[in-house]
Structure 1
Amino acid sequence: MEILGYLSSVLIGISLGLIGGGGSILTIPILVYLFKINPENATSYSLFIVGTTSLLGTYKHYKLGNLQLKPALYFGIPSVISLLLTRKFILPSLPSKIFEIGQMLITKDILIMIVFSILMIFAAFSMIRKQPETINKEINLTKLIVLGLVIGIITGFLGAGGGFLIIPALVLFGNLSMKQAIGSSLFIIFINSTLGFLGDVLNGVVINYTFLISITLIASIGILIGTKLSKTIDGKKLKPAFGWFVLLMGIYIISKEFLNM
C-alpha cells in the first residue's frame, strides 16, 4: 500500500497546479488509507505537504498573471487568524470519543473524516452549478472577510489547504476568473497551511520529517505538471470538472467511514 501511496502523491501536486485545490482532498485519504497515519496527525502532515507544494504553484501562476493579491489578502488574513486559533484551542480540546449511538461509536478521527467529506460534497455542488453571467461585478470584500474567517476554522479543523472551499468563494464573491482563482487560491493555501503547520510544531506535534519531505518532493513534481496542463485547458471547463472530482471523492470518503463504524 505504501508504494501505491508514493505513486499517488504525484496526483496531489497535479490537482493543485491544475485546479488550485484538491491537494488536501487527496493528501488526507492517501495518508490515512495508504500510509495508515491517524487522521489527526494526517492533518498536520497535510498542512506541510500542501503548503510547500502550493508555494511552487503560486510562483508559477504569478508568472502567468493569475495571482490577484487584493481579494487574496482580504480572504487570507482573517482565514489565517481563525485557522491558528482553531489549531491551538479547538482541535486539541475535542475528546477522542465524541459520542456513541447504539453500537456506533463516533471518534475524533472518524468525525474529522466525515466533516471533511460533507464539506467536500457541498463545495462540489457550488462549483458544478452554473452561475449567471455578470459584467463588471464588484468584489464583495465583506463576504470575502467573513468567508475567510469561516473557512479558516474549517481548514484548521481538517488540516486541509481549503482550495475546494476557497475557489468558489473567490469566483463568486471576488469576481475572479477560474484561472485567477486558482493562482490566488494557491497563495492563500500556502500562507494558511505553512502557518498552521508551524503552529502544530510549536504545540509539540511529533513529525517524521524524512517521510514528509519525500512525499512533498513527489507532490512538487506533480504541481509542475498540473501548472503546465492549466495553460492549455479552458478555465470554464475546469470549474465543473473540479466540482465533479470533489463530489466523487467526498462520497467515497463518507461511505468508507460509515462502513468502518
Structure 2
Amino acid sequence: MEFGYIIAGFVVGMLVGLTGVGGGSLMTPILVLFFHIKPALAVGTDLLYASVTKSVGIFAHGKLGNIDWKIVRLLAFGSVPASILTTLYLRNQDIASDAAVNTIKFWLGIALLVTSLSVLFRNQLVKFSNKEHLVNEKWTPYLTVILGLVLGALVTLTSVGAGALGVTALLIIYPRRAINTIIGSDIAHAVPLTLVAGLGHASIGTVDYNLLGTLLIGSIPGIWIGSHLSSKMAEHWVRIALALILIFVGLKLVFH
C-alpha cells in the first residue's frame, strides 16, 4: 500500500510541475476514491502535504520577484480567519458520521467541478474581464479579501481551491498584473493558508503523518520532473486532460 501512495504522490507532483494545478484537486479525491481514506483525514493530510510542497515555490518565485505581498496580505486577511472558523465548525461535528462524510464528499465534488471549469476556460474568462472592464480598481482590495474568505472556507473543508480557482479569480481582479506575479502571489498565499488549515485539522486528529511522509517521497521528485518536462510538452492538452479528469471525479463524488 505504501508503494501505491508513493506512486500517487509522484503522479500528482508531476502534474503540479507540468500545469501548476492538481495538488489538492487530485490528491484528496485519489485518497478518498482509490485508497478509501476517510474524507476528513484525506483533506487534513493533503493540506499539510500542500503546505510543504508549495513552500518551495515561495523561494523560487521570491527570487524572481514574482510575489506581490500586498495581494498576499489581503488574501490572508480573509482566508486565515475563514479557515479558523471552518475548523471550529468541523471540531463541533461528528466527522466520522455518514452525514459528515457525505457533506465533505459533496463539497469536494463541487469544488472539483468549479476548478475544472476554471482550468478549461481561464483564458476566455480573463479576456472577457479585460474587454468588459468587469472590476473597478477601487474595489480590488475588498474583492481580494472576499476571495480570501471564500478560499479559506473552501480549502479547509475540501483542500481544493488554492491553486486553479485562486489564480483564475486573481487574474480577473488584477487583469493588468503579469501572470507570473499572479501565480507567485497565489502560491505564497497558499502556504500559510494550507498550513493554518492543516494545523487546524491536526488539532482535531484528521492528519495521518505516516501517509504525509510517504506521499512526499513520491511528490518531490515528481514535481522536479514535471517542471523540467513542462517546456517540452503541450501544456494546453495536459490542462484539458486534467480538467476532464476533474469533471469525472467531481461528478462521481457529488452523485456517489
TM-score band w.r.t. shorter chain: 0.7 to 0.9
Q: 1:11 to 1:141 in 2, by over 3 A?
A: farther
Change in 2 beyond 3 A, CA 1:159/1:220: same
Structure with greater helix share of residues: 2
Residue type at the aligned position of 1:181: I
Pairing 1:119–2:102 present: no
Query: For 1:74 and 1:243, how far apart are their aligned partners in 2?
Result: 31
Give the whole-Å Cα distance in 2 for the aligned partners of 1:190 and 1:253: 24
Q: Which residue of 1 aligns with 2:6?
A: 6
2:90 paired with 1:91: yes
Superposition deviation, residue 181 in structure 1: 2.6
Deviation at 1:84, TM superposition (A): 1.6
How far residue 143 of structure 1 moved from its aligned partner, in angstroms, is: 0.8
Distance 1:153-1:256 versus aligned 2 partners, 3 A rule: closer
Q: Which runs of 5+ in 2 are unaligned?
A: none
- Secondary structure of the 2:127 match is coil
User: 1:77: Cα distance to partner?
Assistant: 2.8
Counterparts of residues 154-165 of structure 1 (less than 5 Å): 154-160=154-160, 162-165=162-165
In the alignment, the residues of structure 2 paired with residue 204 and residue 113 of structure 1 have an alpha-carbon distance, to the nearest angstrom, of 19
Check if 1:215 corresponds to 2:223: no
Distance 1:54 1:197 in 2: 13
Task: Measure the CA separation in 1 of the matches of 2:21 and 2:157.
Answer: 17
Residues 110 and 250 of structure 2 are in contact (CA less than 8 Å); yes or no, is this contact kept in structure 1?
no
Over the residues paired in the alignment, what is the CA RMSD in angstroms? 3.1
The 5 Å alignment of 1:58-207 reads: 58-87=58-87, 89-95=88-94, 107-129=99-121, 130=124, 131-132=126-127, 134=130, 138=137, 140-160=140-160, 162-175=162-175, 176-201=177-202, 203-205=203-205, 207=207
Per-residue CA deviation, residues 87-128 of structure 1 (Å, 9 max, x unaligned), is 1x2223345598xxxxxxx73222212211222222332443
1:173-209 per-residue CA deviation (whole Å, 9 max, x = no partner) reads 13334333322222111111111122233x2416442
Query: What is the aligned-residue identity percentage?
Result: 24
Counting only pairs closer than 5 Å after superposition, residues 245-256 of structure 1 correspond to structure 2 as 245-255=242-252
AA paired with 1:210?
A: N
Task: Name 1:45's counterpart in structure 2.
Answer: 45
Seen in structure 2, the aligned counterparts of structure 1 residues 243 and 59 have a Cα distance that, compared at 3 Å, is: farther
User: Which stretches in structure 1 are left out of the alignment for 5+ residues?
Assistant: 99-105
Contact 1:21 1:185 in 2 (8 A): no
TM-score (norm 2): 0.81
Q: One-letter code of the match for 1:57?
A: G
Distance apart, 1:219 and its partner CA: 1.4
Using a 3 Å threshold, how does the CA distance of structure 1 residues 50 and 16 change in structure 2: closer, same or farther?
same
Distance 2:161 2:54 in 1: 9
